[in-house]
Amino acid sequence: MNEKKIKKMGNIENCPVRNVIDRIGDKWSMLIILLLADEQVLRFNEIHKSIGTISQKMLTVTLKSLESDGLVKRTVYPQIPPKVEYELTPRGKSLLPHLLALTEWANKNMSNIKASRAQYEKSNA
């Protein structure tokens, strides 16, 4: 009867936080959102060139995911050659401040974190 009452977590499907982190936590989503925040509107290949190291496939997949969540708006201009533009939706923009806050935190703490990792490695030598 003395056991602590600890929150039961881990019902992943119904956890909103996890649903969000699952998306922005992947390899490219956050980068794309921050990029679109800077540039307002970008074509597919502009994003591709800007990120540089992303493959076409992952760019397609990631943009679809962001579009399906209503964070990014996709506009197709039916012309030859085709032209597709991407921009943040209001919902996407509403997420932005939190991402920027995280970015700022990352910049402030990165060097210390790297130092911690190096120290941790040494301890397990």
Partner DNA sequence: CCGAATCCGTAACGATACTG
Partner DNA sequence: CAGTATCGTTACGGATTCGG
Positions in the binding site for DNA (CB under 7 A): 26-28, 43-46, 53-58, 60-61, 63-64, 74, 76, 81-85
CA separation for the pair 27, 34 (Å, rounded): 13
Query: Strand order of the sheet with strand 83-88?
Result: 41-43, 83-88, 72-77
* Residue 70 interacts with its own copies (CB under 8 A): yes or no: yes
User: b vs e for 113-122, b when ≥16 Cβ sit within 10 Å of the residue's Cβ?
Assistant: eeeeeeeeee
Q: Any residues with CB less than 8 A from the CB of 19 and at least 6 apart, and which?
A: none
- For the CA atoms of 9, 11, 15, 20, the dihedral, rounded to the nearest 10 degrees, stands at 110
| Range 8-67, binding its own copies (CB under 8 A) | 8-12, 15-21, 24-26, 30-31, 34-35, 38-39, 42, 46, 49-54, 67
CB of 84 or CB of 101, closer to DNA? 84
Return the one option of its own copies, DNA, none that residue 87 interacts with (CB less than 5 to 8 A, by type).
none
The entry of DNA, its own copies, none that residue 75 binds, CB within 5 to 8 Å by partner kind: none
Cβ nearer to DNA, comparing 14 with 53: 53
Six-digit token string for 121: 């490695």
Distance CA 10, CA 25 (A): 17
Residues interacting with its own copies, by CB under 8 A?
4, 6-12, 15-21, 24-26, 30-31, 34-35, 38-39, 42, 46, 49-54, 67-70, 91, 94-95, 98, 101-103, 105-107, 109-110, 112-114, 116-117, 120-121
